[in-house]
A and B are shown apart, each in its own frame.
Chain A
Amino acid sequence: MKALPDWAFTAAVAFCGFAFFAIAHATGNAIWTDVASRILVYGLAAVSLDILVGYAGMVSFGHAMFLLCGGYAVGILAREGLVSGFIQWPVAMIVSGLLAALIGPLVLRTGGVYFILLTLAFSQMLFFLFTGFSRYGGDEGLQVYPRSEFIRAVDLSNPDTLFIVVLLVVCVALYAMQRLAKSPFGLVLKGCRQNEKRMQALGYQTFRYKLLAFVIAAAVCGLAGAMLANVTGFVSPEYGSWQRSGELLVMVILGGMGTLRGPLIGAIFLLMLEHVLSEQTEHWPLLLGVLLVLVAIYLPNGLRTVSVLFRRQSNVS
């Protein structure tokens, strides 16, 4: 089976999004669009993390700090009276990218486990920093009011409009990321994951490539954060909690790392599962935890492994 071309996959995502939107409205479940926007935003964050984990082999356990960064960029600008989304969203991306450019050289000095622990430590640092900022709500968070303003016809306080905007932005970003992954730059990153020494011997300054990947992933995640602030209407340090970073990693694992498309599926699966489980029992994290342990031990390639199993069986029969 040949994989879908990038444009076709992106178009399929857009189509599914609009179909979902139509069904939700036709069946009188317009409230679903709110959940769907949230899932799309987390999906984009997970896809940006996959650039690091699945391509460059950089396991970041602090990726949610860029959600926090992007979210607060929107929240703080809105509080200070700058409400244009044309300014807010790019600022969210730039600030997140700058933050990554600042801590990137520190966390990239060593690899492997140190990278995991250091990204975690820096995300915690940001978490505590915002907990202490009493001007912007401290640990209680900050209302995002008003929502980002674009042109008059686009009113983001309407969940339907917001869903359409989020869907379009996510599709564009998804397409761009897939192209990026196939570009020479993406291939160098892939080479770093497989054998960084060999890439260096080939004359590539792998540090620069990895730093740039870190910055790009951060900027995209910052964009997701800016959208998340609009979806929830609220930002708090919890955006950057290490549990959130862990969830993003889980999405990447579930969907299959190094595929870019998988993490989007992983996000849908994880958030739907959380949603369903939390309606069944208040102790749903227990079940989720058991699932994660089992996935790590038995399904290291994520849900793809399951689909491969099915395919083999159908070939046999």
Chain B
Amino acid sequence: MSLFLEQCLNGIQISLLLFLMASGLTLIFGIMEQINLAHGSLFMLGAYFSVLFQQLFGSFALALVLALGVTFIIGIILEVLVFRRLYGREHLLQVVATFGLILIFNELVRIFWGVAPQYSAIPKALSGAISLGWLDYPSYRVAVIGVSLLTAIGLFVLIQKTRLGMLIRAGADDRNMVGHLGVNITVLYTVVFGIGAALAALAGAMAGPLQSVRPGMGEQILILTFVVVVVGGLGSIQGALVGSLLIGMADTLGRAYLGSALSFILPPAAASGLTNALSSTFVFVIMAAMLLLRPRGIFARSQR
């Protein structure tokens, strides 16, 4: 029972990291119709910068904030140099350009840090475990859940209650109209892109101590993020939240329990072989099933 609870908590933690990634991706798509494969690279940059600043200043919290800031600025530079020139162009060109960006960032990281995985330390204050009644759960993971939840709430407040959020929602609905109403749409795009980059960096910096910080680390979570936004509906923040919870939990619980479920129906040898193959493809099966039910995602935007 406590094992199951632990897996559930792990699932929630992964779901929330996925949400940080997916919300940025879906915002950028919703407003600018821009597909960004390099979103995983921003995740990776967040992790690397947080390691760098930890080594420089010795404080995890400070490193986290600085990594966010630097990636925010990199996001803005990227938007001005590359993405701005691709709005309204064919998606194919956006795919090729951002594919190029992935190559560039992976190689830059290799040049500056080498191929060996970097070690991102868990801060001392969070290295223990918290007793949650039935089980002891690592306090770092609890902190990750907490920070992600706060960020998610902050994002919803930003989008629903502030003027910037109003512009973002309006832009997602009809960006031309927003532009005609006298809003400086160029600056809005740049800011939204920066926010998306910072969210990805936050996810990366927090995931750093939980996985190895290495070139190409953003690509695996990028694929999962794509599954999330497809399931949730591209351009919808609510969709990103529901999609991340569904996919994050399915991935974690699938990896944990698919094996024992299969061993009930199959002979052990066949079951263990199948488990390896199936546990990593489980989320794609769910995605395919969702597509049959709701082809444009759970929170599909109306077709224009």
Q: CB distance A129 to B281 under 8 Å?
A: yes
- Determine if B273 is an interface residue (Cβ-Cβ < 8 Å): yes
- Interface size of B by CB at 8 A reads 48
Of the candidates A110, A131, A135, A289, which one forms a contact with B280 in the assembled complex, judged by CB atoms under 8 Å apart?
A: A131
Q: CB distance A297 to B97 under 8 Å?
A: yes
Q: CB distance A291 to B100 under 8 Å?
A: yes
Chain A nearest CB from B150 CB (Å) reads: 29
Chain A residues, CB < 8 A from B157: none
Q: CB distance A121 to B287 under 8 Å?
A: yes
* New A-B contacts (6) at CB < 8 Å, excluding given A61-B95, A121-B227, A132-B275: A113-B234, A121-B223, A246-B95, A257-B92, A293-B100, A300-B93
Q: If the complex has contacts A113-B234, A257-B92, are A292 and B292 also in contact, measured as CB distance less than 8 A?
A: no
Q: CB distance A120 to B226 under 8 Å?
A: yes
Q: CB distance A300 to B107 under 8 Å?
A: no
Q: CB distance B108 to A134 under 8 Å?
A: no
Interchain residue pairs A-B with the least CB separation, the first 9 = A292-B100, A132-B277, A289-B103, A296-B97, A132-B276, A289-B104, A125-B284, A286-B107, A128-B280
Q: CB distance A290 to B281 under 8 Å?
A: no
Chain B, residues 101-130, CB within 8 Å of chain A (1/0): the string is 111101110110000000000000000000
Q: CB distance A300 to B273 under 8 Å?
A: no
CB under 8 Å from chain B, chain A span 92-118: 103, 106, 109-110, 112-114, 116-118
Chain A-chain B contacts (Cβ-Cβ < 8 Å), number: 134
On B, residues with C-beta under 8 Å from A are 29, 35, 82, 85-86, 89-97, 99-104, 106-108, 110-111, 219, 223, 226-227, 229-230, 234, 273, 275-281, 284-285, 287-288, 291-292, 295-296
Chain A residues, CB < 8 A from B281: 125, 128-129, 132
Chain B nearest CB from A29 CB (Å) reads: 30
In Å, the complex CA distance between A117 and B37 comes to: 10
Most buried by A among B86, B100, B107: B100
Q: CB distance A288 to B91 under 8 Å?
A: no
Of the candidates A121, A283, A291, which one forms a contact with B111 in the assembled complex, judged by CB atoms under 8 Å apart?
A: A283
Q: CB distance A120 to B223 under 8 Å?
A: yes
Q: CB distance B29 to A113 under 8 Å?
A: yes
Q: CB distance A59 to B104 under 8 Å?
A: no
Q: If the complex has contacts A113-B35, A292-B99, A296-B93, are A124 and B284 also in contact, measured as CB distance less than 8 A?
A: yes
On A, residues with C-beta under 8 Å from B are 53, 59, 61, 103, 106, 109-110, 112-114, 116-118, 120-122, 124-125, 128-135, 138, 242, 246, 249-250, 253, 257, 283, 285-286, 288-293, 295-297, 300
Which residue of B is nearest A299, CB measured? B93
Of the candidates A117, A133, A138, A293, which one forms a contact with B230 in the assembled complex, judged by CB atoms under 8 Å apart?
A: A117
Q: CB distance A133 to B277 under 8 Å?
A: yes
Q: If the complex has contacts A53-B92, A59-B92, A249-B95, are A116 and B100 also in contact, measured as CB distance less than 8 A?
A: no
Of the candidates A59, A118, A132, A297, which one forms a contact with B82 in the assembled complex, judged by CB atoms under 8 Å apart?
A: A297
Which residue of A is nearest B220, CB measured? A124
Q: CB distance A300 to B90 under 8 Å?
A: yes
Chain B nearest CB from A265 CB (Å) reads: 16
In Å, the complex CA distance between A30 and B39 comes to: 44
In Å, the complex CA distance between A132 and B275 comes to: 8
Q: If the complex has contacts A124-B284, A289-B100, are A118 and B110 also in contact, measured as CB distance less than 8 A?
A: no
Q: If the complex has contacts A121-B230, A250-B99, A253-B96, are A59 and B276 also in contact, measured as CB distance less than 8 A?
A: no
